[in-house]
Amino acid sequence: MTKGRIEAFSDGVIAIIITIMVLEMKVPHGHDLATLMPLLPVFLCYVLSFANVGIYWNNHHHMFHAVKHVGGWVLWANLHLLFWLSLMPFATGFMGENDFAPVTVFVYIVDLLMCALSYLLLENALLAQHGRDSDFARALAKSVKDKVSMGIYLVALVASAFAPLVSLILVAVVAAIWIVPDRRFAKAPE
Amino acid sequence: MTKGRIEAFSDGVIAIIITIMVLEMKVPHGHDLATLMPLLPVFLCYVLSFANVGIYWNNHHHMFHAVKHVGGWVLWANLHLLFWLSLMPFATGFMGENDFAPVTVFVYIVDLLMCALSYLLLENALLAQHGRDSDFARALAKSVKDKVSMGIYLVALVASAFAPLVSLILVAVVAAIWIVPDRRFAKAPE
Amino acid sequence: MTKGRIEAFSDGVIAIIITIMVLEMKVPHGHDLATLMPLLPVFLCYVLSFANVGIYWNNHHHMFHAVKHVGGWVLWANLHLLFWLSLMPFATGFMGENDFAPVTVFVYIVDLLMCALSYLLLENALLAQHGRDSDFARALAKSVKDKVSMGIYLVALVASAFAPLVSLILVAVVAAIWIVPDRRFAKAPE
Amino acid sequence: MTKGRIEAFSDGVIAIIITIMVLEMKVPHGHDLATLMPLLPVFLCYVLSFANVGIYWNNHHHMFHAVKHVGGWVLWANLHLLFWLSLMPFATGFMGENDFAPVTVFVYIVDLLMCALSYLLLENALLAQHGRDSDFARALAKSVKDKVSMGIYLVALVASAFAPLVSLILVAVVAAIWIVPDRRFAKAPE
């Protein structure tokens, strides 16, 4: 089945994205715990981004488990999603190394929004392959979480201009919503 | 089937190539959007190279889907292709960090040409395994896009000496041509 | 089988973790072997961490070989383990570049402890999927090595404050214990 | 079949090793081809190491294709091989950035020797699993290339003290010997 290789390539890219983010935490020189303190914002950003990228992998995994056909624009929609995910290490580092300055939080949330949008496009490309009457379409139709997430991201985007920490709390809330596995496709695997 | 491992290894290498290119975008220090402006050429190069490497993965995926036998020189031809692709992050960074200076665009297009050439060699190595009478050979025979691409690359190479931006537009045109999935092998998967 | 993709993603992440640690060994300039001497502590840390990450991969491999069902919290428990493993390159570099200062050894062992703890959580998440009466549960019940390891790590953690080298010897002892393959799941594959 | 995951993990690690070597070629600043000249030794080292790591992947691929059983020490012998391969980017960079100084060539060849030795250990671990009467053992018995390679490496090691370039030519000769696919296991896949 040809979907295996899309999964494998996506796994590879997401595995690298999630792992190279740790390279932003530059090893400090020093002999006491205080040396690590300036790294705290970078570390917190890493945790947040690790969770977000992990959620994308998780949802990607569940969704492709239910996929029967790939083709047409699916490969490009998938690459498009990987593109925006690949900017996460940059956006994460930009935010962590500039102490959550409003503009860096803004850029970070723009990237999250683009990831969410490209995930939606991927869903639609897959939907076009499966047809409106498929099990895949029925599973997708129950979706409400993604619309809620997009809404919260938009609020967070606006908030970043004057209250960047509120924005990040909203981002963390979205992550928390998704950590509960996506029930739409979750029934199939078990 | 032994082709599975060639696909897996190629997926791994291409996934790393496409992802480490983002490391060329060094995280800047600063608190306003202007901080990101100097990164714009590097970002545009990243987009162009992400698209190009993505296209190679896509075509590689479609072609190997139709492959029945591997052996002989196929593994080396595949490694040879991966070698030239592995230089893409370097060529991309060289161009992006030197503001599209003619020589950097020239080097970038030489690398693209070598990728295209080594892809052709891989096709031929696979052809030798399948024979002239195979479905694989018939699918390949309809090819015209790769010859057109090579031609445009050669024009772009010459143009890079005096009009590097024209060269890059030509490179983008080739990418656009390929974003339409390769119909030669596309029928099989669906 | 859906567990295949969890294995593939974990393999990818662990492969990257184990390999990017080598990037901490910065290439020195010089023309004699003495140039390499300052790298010795970094190299020893690399060997130790390579062994530890290798052991996790090995055990993960053996455990998942026996796994029949994944779902629920398994994916998150697995990501949680990968998170702590992903900090190994940082912890390794921190220790190696600061000549085994007590605080760096302390941080390194905290990371090892968190890895061990998250591995335990993953075992429990898998146990919840398989039930107390499963072959998986019976294989797990014979476990004693992980409790011994946790105990030694705790001793090593305390010792790091006044005798960091003793701590590292204890860490090496734990590694040696695990290099003998995990017999609990090892019977199945052969 | 459990060998699949060893292959996948090895593919991942080797793919990363072969790709991160390119990061040693630091992007230079400048507007003419002369800017690239100082990179020539680094580039040549990259080509040589890419070929060598590629050869290991190739032989690993062919050998595991013939493998029926894994277990016991096979996983550790495989990790041991990956360890020495993982030092290739360091050894390559050390040699390339110090203009082939004798000591750097010496270190490079020591790493190649350790790779060859650990490959031999892996063969033996696999032999112990398959027994002296197996097809695997018969395929292995015809081996002569690996002994020849080891011999040439030893000569190259000694030569590195006074004629490093002769050493590198010998290393290139060994690579050339191996680029012809390993016929011992090559029959099976086709």
Per-residue pLDDT tens digits for C155-187: 999 999 889 999 999 999 999 888 875 555 554
Is B22 close to A69, i.e. CB distance below 8 A? no
Asked whether the beta carbons of C82 and A46 are under 8 A apart, the reply is no
Asked whether the beta carbons of D17 and D9 are under 8 A apart, the reply is no
Which DSSP string corresponds to A131-159? Answer: -TTSHHHHHHHT--HHHHHHHHHHHHHHH
Look-up: residue for tokens 């050669």? B154
pLDDT, average across residues C75-90: 95
pLDDT, chain C, mean? 87
* Residues C107, C109, C110, C116, CA torsion sign: positive
Is B82 close to D18, i.e. CB distance below 8 A? yes
Inter-CA distances, A41 with A33, A92, C42, D15, D120, Å = 15, 10, 26, 32, 47
Asked whether the beta carbons of B96 and B106 are under 8 A apart, the reply is no
* Residues B163, B166, B170, B171, CA torsion sign: positive
Q: Which of B22, B48, B52 to mutate to test the interface with A (most CBs of A within 10 A)?
A: B22
E strands, chain B, in order: none
Residue of B nearest to A104 (CA): B31
Residue C140 has pLDDT above 50, yes or no: yes
Per-residue pLDDT of chain B (190 residues; tens, 9 = 90+): 478 888 889 999 999 999 989 988 888 988 888 889 888 988 999 999 999 999 999 889 888 888 887 877 888 999 999 999 999 999 999 998 898 999 999 999 999 999 999 999 999 899 888 888 888 888 777 777 888 899 999 999 999 988 999 999 999 999 988 887 555 555 444 3
CA distance C160 to C95: 12
**In this structure, how many other beta carbons lie within 10 angstroms of the beta carbon of residue D34?**
10
Is C181 close to D90, i.e. CB distance below 8 A? no
E strands, B2-73, in order: none
CA distance C120 to C114: 10
Asked whether the beta carbons of B172 and B186 are under 8 A apart, the reply is no
HEC sequence for D36-54: HHHHHHHHHHHHHHHHHHH
The predicted pLDDT at position B188 comes to 43
**In this structure, how many other beta carbons lie within 10 angstroms of the beta carbon of residue C1?**
11
**In this structure, how many other beta carbons lie within 10 angstroms of the beta carbon of residue C162?**
9
Query: Cα D167 to chain center, whole Å?
Result: 16
* Residues C94, C96, C98, C101, CA torsion sign: positive
Inter-CA distances, D189 with B8, B97, B136, D133, D183, Å = 16, 46, 19, 21, 11
From D98's Cα to the closest Cα of chain C, the distance in A is 6
Tell me: the pLDDT tens digits for D29-55?
Answer: 888 888 898 889 889 999 999 999 999
CA distance A66 to A139: 9
CA distance A65 to B182: 25
Asked whether the beta carbons of D39 and D28 are under 8 A apart, the reply is yes
What 3-state class would DSSP assign to C51?
helix
The predicted pLDDT at position C185 comes to 58
Is A18 close to C72, i.e. CB distance below 8 A? no
What 3-state class would DSSP assign to D146?
helix
Q: Does C35 touch chain D (CB under 8 A)?
A: yes
The predicted pLDDT at position C65 comes to 84
Enumerate the residues of chain C whose CB falls inside 8 A of the CB of residue D101. Answer: 30-31
The predicted pLDDT at position C190 comes to 37
Inter-CA distances, A34 with A31, C24, C42, C104, C106, Å = 8, 22, 22, 11, 13
Is B58 close to A70, i.e. CB distance below 8 A? no
Domain boundaries, chain D: 3-186
Residue of C nearest to D107 (CA): C33
CA distance B163 to A64: 45
Residue of D nearest to B18 (CA): D19
Asked whether the beta carbons of A156 and A171 are under 8 A apart, the reply is yes
CA distance C47 to C166: 17
Tell me: the pLDDT tens digits for C25-51?
Answer: 888 988 888 889 888 989 999 999 999
Instruction: Report the helix count and the strand count for chain A, using DSSP H and E.
Output: 9, 0
Q: Shortest CA distance to D39 belongs to which of B110, B91, B115? A: B91
CA distance A65 to A63: 5
- Top pLDDT among D142 and C186 is at D142
Asked whether the beta carbons of D100 and D41 are under 8 A apart, the reply is yes
CA distance C78 to C119: 8
Look-up: residue for tokens 């053992």? D137
Is D16 close to C14, i.e. CB distance below 8 A? no
Enumerate the residues of chain C whose CB falls inside 8 A of the CB of residue D79. Answer: 50, 54, 57-58
Query: Cα A75 to chain center, whole Å?
Result: 18
Q: Does D123 touch chain C (CB under 8 A)?
A: no
Q: Which of A3, A6, A9, A11 to mutate to test the interface with C (most CBs of C within 10 A)?
A: A11
pLDDT, average across residues D61-83: 87
Q: Which of C19, C24, C25, C29 to mutate to test the interface with D (most CBs of D within 10 A)?
A: C19
The predicted pLDDT at position D181 comes to 58
Q: Long-range contacts made by residues C54-57, C-beta under 8 angstroms, separation at least 24?
A: C54/C18, C54/D76, C54/D79, C54/D83, C55/C175, C55/C178, C55/C179, C56/C14, C56/C81, C56/C85, C56/C115, C56/C119, C57/C11, C57/C14, C57/C18, C57/D9, C57/D79
CA distance D27 to A58: 36
CA distance D150 to D116: 7
Q: Which chains touch B (3 or more CB pairs under 8 A)?
A: A, D
Is A8 close to C13, i.e. CB distance below 8 A? no
From C146's Cα to the closest Cα of chain A, the distance in A is 26
Asked whether the beta carbons of C175 and C52 are under 8 A apart, the reply is yes
Q: Closest CB to B189: pick one of A8, A70, A87.
A: A70
Per-residue pLDDT of chain A (190 residues; tens, 9 = 90+): 478 888 889 999 999 999 989 988 888 988 888 889 888 988 999 999 999 999 999 889 888 888 887 877 888 999 999 999 999 999 999 998 898 999 999 999 999 999 999 999 999 899 888 888 888 888 777 777 888 899 999 999 999 988 999 999 999 999 988 886 555 555 444 3
Q: Shortest CA distance to D168 belongs to which of A90, C166, D176? A: D176
Asked whether the beta carbons of D87 and C46 are under 8 A apart, the reply is no
Residue of A nearest to C96 (CA): A27
Asked whether the beta carbons of D112 and D167 are under 8 A apart, the reply is no
Is B19 close to A24, i.e. CB distance below 8 A? no
Is A12 close to B16, i.e. CB distance below 8 A? yes
Enumerate the residues of chain D whose CB falls inside 8 A of the CB of residue B102. Answer: 31
From A52's Cα to the closest Cα of chain C, the distance in A is 11
CA distance B153 to B121: 17
From C106's Cα to the closest Cα of chain A, the distance in A is 10
